[in-house]
Structure 1
Amino acid sequence: MIYFLLFWEFCKVGLFCVGGGYASMPLIQASVVDHYHWLSMSEFVDIFTISQMTPGPIGINAATFAGTKIAGLGGAVSATLGFVTPSFFLGIILARVYLKYGDIGSIRGALNGLRPAVVALICVASLSFILLAVWNTETLPTDWSTFSLGGIAILILAIAATRRKIGVIKVLIGSGVLGLALGLAGLI
């Protein structure tokens, strides 16, 4: 039963997560954290973080890791298949429609209208993680080191975005190494 439920919930997420993996995070959170309570918010943040660090699409990675945490290997398969099934069929259908009807203005308008919603979904996911880091003192540290590391990462990413001399991968690796060093030193 849990496998079918995982498939169905991630199928709904896959169907409605217009805009990619980051846009799917609030939908996954609503399902596995808020509705079913399969994962705590702290576990979800860990899954989100690992999903970003591993190769592949973040939404599929998150579905696989969440499914594994919830129901083992069978849960991973169920959640992953549920997540990709709608995209697979919608992709085939939309490709056929696009090839048949070409560039239709109303379709372009609908897609342009979805862009602000995608940005809003990503912002909601980011806000949820920020609020968790700031106010949930039971699961995450909220001392100076948390804010310092976050601030340094934001600063480096802002510089990287404007000058393009520092790659995102370098920032991720550097943040991980710095966090490990501070953790081993007992500072975080």
Structure 2
Amino acid sequence: MGELWQLLLAFLQIGLFSIGGGYVIIPFIQELAVEKYAWISQQVFTDIITISQMTPGPLAVNTSTFVGLRIAGIPGAMIATFGCVISGVGISILLYRFIQRYNKSVYVFETLNVLRAVSLGLIISAATTILLLTLLGISEISMAAKVDWIAVAFFAVSLYVLRKWKMNPVLLMVLTGILGGIVIQ
């Protein structure tokens, strides 16, 4: 029961501070699940992020569900998902009411502009974390990092194919997943 309580509190915290979308919370989930509580390893976290991006639904919800499932099975998945979602629902309702009431205020307008800029910075941080995890197998920049040249090649070819031929990203993920399974075996 203590583990479920920890999951709930951790994902309530994650949901509470996940302003800006799913990619923004990736470093936060990593900090709590991998570093603080050591529920999962860095490699398992990378796998969860990959699976979460490929499955339908919001990234934050998918990641919470997979982490909770890994930690405490179905009850853990339900608790982690609930914790992640309920904070955002409550905040959204309160913000909607606040903005409806003060929508003409210049202070509210400027505050929202600042929040957009902060969200962009957090998204860039999350993208950097994903690239480091994928290409180097680390979450922080380090001179001792070992480059995964297969991942770099897959990334470069995928980016080229997406830009040059405008291939469907889902089809590209399926194809690279199959090819990756063949190459790595």
**Fold similarity call, TM over 0.5:** yes
Deviation readout 1:27-51 (Å, 9 max, x if unpaired): 1011101111111111101000000
Inter-partner Cα distance in structure 2 for 1:55 and 1:11? 22
Inter-partner Cα distance in structure 2 for 1:126 and 1:135? 14
DSSP-derived class of the 2:34 partner: helix
Inter-partner Cα distance in structure 2 for 1:51 and 1:134? 18
The amino acid across from 2:153 in the alignment is S
The amino acid across from 2:102 in the alignment is Y
Match of 1:148 in 2: 153
Structure 2 residue 162 is the aligned partner of structure 1 residue 157:
yes
Inter-partner Cα distance in structure 1 for 2:94 and 2:64? 23
The amino acid across from 2:57 in the alignment is G
Match of 2:143 in 1: none
Q: Percent of pairs identical after alignment?
A: 34
- Residues 18-33 of structure 1 correspond to what in structure 2 (within 5 A)? 18-33=19-34
CA root-mean-square deviation? 2.2
The answer to which of 22-31 and 102-111 deviates more is 102-111
Match of 1:2 in 2: 3
Structure 2 residue 90 is the aligned partner of structure 1 residue 110:
no
The amino acid across from 1:27 in the alignment is F
The amino acid across from 1:61 in the alignment is N
Distance change (3 Å), C-alpha of 1:135 and 1:22: closer
The answer to which of 39-48 and 171-180 deviates more is 171-180
Kindly report structure 1 stretches of 4+ aligned residues shifted beyond 6 Å: none
- Residues 29-44 of structure 1 correspond to what in structure 2 (within 5 A)? 29-44=30-45
User: 1:142 deviation in Å?
Assistant: 4.7
User: 1:169 deviation in Å?
Assistant: 2.0
User: 1:106 deviation in Å?
Assistant: 1.9
DSSP-derived class of the 1:55 partner: coil
Inter-partner Cα distance in structure 2 for 1:135 and 1:145? 11
Inter-partner Cα distance in structure 1 for 2:163 and 2:27? 24
User: 1:74 deviation in Å?
Assistant: 1.1
The amino acid across from 1:125 in the alignment is A
- Structure 1's unaligned 5+ residue stretches are none
User: 1:174 deviation in Å?
Assistant: 2.5
User: 1:136 deviation in Å?
Assistant: 4.1
Inter-partner Cα distance in structure 2 for 1:131 and 1:25? 13
Question: Is the Cα contact below 8 Å between 2:69 and 2:75 reproduced in 1?
Answer: yes
Question: Is the Cα contact below 8 Å between 1:133 and 1:142 reproduced in 2?
Answer: no
Question: Is the Cα contact below 8 Å between 1:13 and 1:83 reproduced in 2?
Answer: yes
Matched pairs, number: 177
User: 1:143 deviation in Å?
Assistant: 4.8
Match of 1:121 in 2: 122
DSSP-derived class of the 1:118 partner: helix
Question: Is the Cα contact below 8 Å between 1:26 and 1:121 reproduced in 2?
Answer: no
